[in-house]
């Protein structure tokens, strides 16, 4: 297997590929640690003025607003998780829209398909792409359609999944500290821990993040200040 098959193309890779676009494809692919089909597909993108690769290589519209950049599709991220030998599918979860439910549902990434028609045995592969809302690595959100977040391939300036995996323990520790601080603030603002517990049971917070007590506590604290924002936290 080529050494860099799962890694995004760097600017140096693109420049090498463009300089040697007329050389034998197999030699160029071997030098880059890529597959031949990958190099062909990348060259096609480098010839397209609408792509980020073209703009980076040729210096066109380098300051394009982040909101106009494309989010890496969920299907690409799912394929990466399944086929990257450095990743374990059991570390991931998928959030999706059910046709008969208003809130997003969440399931293990390797959950069997028991509800979507078709031959796919894994739910994540059987789901139509437009119904996929987010992906998590353990407790951390790594791809979100609503937030336009991609911490798998790093599109739109996000992190890459290798970094997420390597820093997860530090992230989880920081998250626990923020949760404790938010809990203390919210309980003080509401008058007692019992009042906070009641609020957390009844608060209407974005279902995508119901697992997160930090979101609940922050929401409670905001409500006591006369404002109740719609939370959508990258935590």
Digit-coded pLDDT (tens) for 144-201: 999 899 999 988 778 899 999 999 999 999 989 988 888 888 888 888 888 877 877 7
68 pLDDT band (50/70/90 cuts)?
Answer: very low
Backbone angles phi, psi at 112, to 5 degrees: -70, 150
Nearest to 13 by CA among 46, 61, 59: 46
Quote the pLDDT of residue 124: 93
Other CB atoms within 10 A of residue 197 CB: 13
More confident residue, 67 or 150: 150
Going 35 to 4 to 58 to 21, the CA torsion angle's sign is: negative
More confident residue, 59 or 183: 183
Contacts of 36 (CB under 8 A, 6+ apart): 25, 26, 29
Quote the pLDDT of residue 215: 53
209 pLDDT band (50/70/90 cuts)?
Answer: very low
The overall pTM is greater than 0.85: no
63 pLDDT band (50/70/90 cuts)?
Answer: very low
Q: d(Cα 232, Cα 137) in Å, to the nearest integer?
A: 17
Quote the pLDDT of residue 230: 40
Which residues, listed in sequence order, are joined to residue 134 by a DSSP beta bridge?
95, 144
| The two structure tokens encoding residue 50 | 């609408």
**114 pLDDT exceeds 90?**
no
| The two structure tokens encoding residue 163 | 């970094």
Can you point out the beta strands (E) in 19-126?
A: 92-97, 104-108
Q: Average of pLDDT values for 62-81? A: 75
């Amino acid at each position: 297997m080529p050494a860099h098959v799962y890694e995004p193309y760097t600017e140096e890779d693109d420049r090498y590929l463009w300089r040697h676009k007329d050389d034998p494809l197999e030699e160029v692919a071997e030098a880059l640690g890529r597959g031949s089909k990958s190099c062909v597909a990348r060259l096609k993108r480098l010839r397209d003025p609408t792509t980020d690769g073209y703009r980076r290589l040729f210096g066109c519209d380098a300051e394009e607003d982040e909101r106009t950049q494309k989010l890496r599709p969920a299907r690409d991220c799912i394929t990466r998780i399944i086929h990257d030998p450095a990743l374990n599918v059991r570390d991931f979860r998928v959030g999706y829209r059910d046709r008969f439910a208003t809130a997003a549902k969440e399931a293990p990434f390797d959950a069997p398909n028991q509800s979507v028609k078709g031959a796919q045995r894994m739910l994540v592969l059987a789901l139509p792409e437009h119904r996929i809302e987010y992906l998590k690595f353990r407790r951390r959100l790594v791809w979100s359609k609503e937030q336009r977040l991609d911490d798998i391939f790093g599109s739109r300036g996000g992190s890459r999944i290798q970094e997420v995996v390597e820093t997860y323990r530090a992230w989880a520790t920081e998250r626990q500290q923020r949760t404790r601080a938010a809990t203390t603030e919210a309980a003080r603002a509401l008058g007692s821990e019992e009042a906070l517990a009641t609020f957390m049971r009844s608060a209407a917070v974005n279902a995508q993040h119901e697992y997160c007590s930090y979101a609940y506590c922050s929401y409670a604290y905001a409500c006591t200040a006369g404002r109740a924002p719609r939370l959508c936290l990258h935590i």
